[in-house]
Amino acid sequence: MASGFVLKDVDVKNNAVVSFGELFVTIYPYLKKPVSAEYISREIKVKPSRIRAVLNKLYNHSLIDYKRCFDDDTGKYTYIWTLNHKKLETFLKDYNADAVSENAVASSEFPFICSGCKEPYSFESAVDCAFKCHKCGSTIDALE
């Protein structure tokens, strides 16, 4: 199975696991094309919330984009994720394990913050209010 550069290089693979979790290695082959967390969930029999947690980590590093789409099958909105392979490759090659893991611990739960009133947001709550603070209406930014 051709699963891309991540799994060929041991250092790069370790960096990916430290940055995005063990599950990333399983999810990565599905990110070759734009895909929903629900689709990956059905394929690998892992809860969508656990897959979204990995996707959120990628998003925190600006390595993935998403689009909100209406899913005719479920009658619900879903997010289609598109991995930026070039940026991921650069990120993993330039990666500094110590710096990233400290930062990840500090910001994993509330990786976003209101630029006005400093209300913390999780990725999902920030998406739900379209990156506008529900308290003061200011823009919600990613924590650096």
Q: Which residues bind Zn ion (CB under 5 A)?
A: 114, 116-117, 119, 133, 135-136, 138
Q: How far is the CB of 36 from Zn ion (least distance, A)?
A: 30
- H or E stretch including 66? strand 64-71
Residue 104 in 3-state DSSP?
A: helix
Q: How far is the CB of 131 from Zn ion (least distance, A)?
A: 11
- Cα–Cα distance for residue pair 62/44, rounded to 1 Å: 25
33/134 with CB nearer Zn ion: 134
47/135 with CB nearer Zn ion: 135
Which residue's CB comes closest to Zn ion? 133
97/137 with CB nearer Zn ion: 137
Residue 59 burial (CB count, 10 A)? 18
73/144 with CB nearer Zn ion: 144
Q: How far is the CB of 141 from Zn ion (least distance, A)?
A: 11
Residue in this structure with the two tokens 């399983």, named with its chain if needed: 26
Q: Are 44 and 31 in contact (CB under 8 A)?
A: no
Q: How far is the CB of 13 from Zn ion (least distance, A)?
A: 39
Residue 71 in 3-state DSSP?
A: strand
